[in-house]
Amino acid sequence: MLHLTHDTPQAWVDVALADFDAFLQDHAANERKASVSALRLAVHHHDIPALVDATIDVAREELDHFRQVYDLIVSRGGELGQDAPDPYMTRLHGAMRRERKSEFLLDRLLVFSLIEARGCERFGMLAEALAAGPIRDFYAELTRTEARHRGLFIRLARDLFDTAAVRQRIDTLVAIEAEISAALPLRPSLH
């Protein structure tokens, strides 16, 4: 139901691998933020048990990924970097409607799904480019996890909202995400 309409250029892999340590720092920051965002979603919508259960599980997985990326950083002699503003996330979050609580929730679920879809695409590209071994296996597993999370957020949206409204909003947000992705310069970051 949700498919990205702008493909990440293959050159992005070269940029990410050319400064893989910077990429890992950005990746760690994104995993931490994803965990916090999932928990925030659970708290803001505490009256929807299915959403709370699902987002707590996502938060735990994202926090585990944060730990795994942190361990990888340390094993390479690095440390966590400072969080830098993420223009992709800033612009995508700016596209969410905030006037009505129901619209905001729908947009949050769909934006989360888009973010997971973009992560799935890029982690898959990295996994294909990396040499065989534990790091490649890690990114291959992350690709599968991101795909599962993308589907989860879409299912939650479809369970909570009218299918036609979900479809219409997906079309709008996918187009916005494509414009954002196409306009951003390639850098050693997840987005």
The answer to whether position 88 is within a domain reads no
| Model pLDDT for residues 129-184, shown as the tens digit of each residue | 999 999 999 999 999 999 999 999 999 999 999 999 999 999 999 999 999 999 99
CATH code where residue 63 lies: 1.20.1260.10
Q: Is residue 190 part of a domain?
A: no
Q: Quote the pLDDT of residue 167.
A: 96
Give CA separation, 162 vs 102, 116, 168, 179, in Å: 11, 22, 10, 26
Query: Residue 8: which of 182, 187, 139 has the closest Cα?
Result: 182
Number of domains in the chain: 1
**30 occurs within a structural domain:** yes
Give the pLDDT of residue 118.
98
Does a structural domain hold residue 153? yes
Cβ contact 52:42 at 8 Å: yes
Residue 87 falls inside a structural domain:
no
Residue 128 lies inside a defined structural domain of this protein: yes
Residue 1 has pLDDT above 80, yes or no: no
Token pair 């709370």 is found at 52
- In this prediction, residue 113 has a pLDDT band, given cuts at 50, 70 and 90, of very high
Question: Could you give the C-alpha distances from 41 to 21, 130, 154, 172, 189, in angstroms and in order?
Answer: 30, 34, 15, 22, 24
Report yes or no: 168 and 2 within 8 Å, Cβ to Cβ: no
Give CA torsion, residues 34, 111, 125, 36, to 10 deg. 0
Q: Is residue 188 part of a domain?
A: no
Tell me: the pLDDT tens digits for 53-82? 999 999 999 999 999 999 999 999 999 988
Other CB atoms within 10 Å distance of the CB of residue 57: 14
Quote the strand ranges of the chain, DSSP E. Answer: none
**Enclosing domain of residue 69:** 16-81+98-183
Q: Does any domain span residue 93?
A: no
At 13-53, the pLDDT tens digits run 999 999 999 999 999 999 999 999 999 999 999 999 999 99
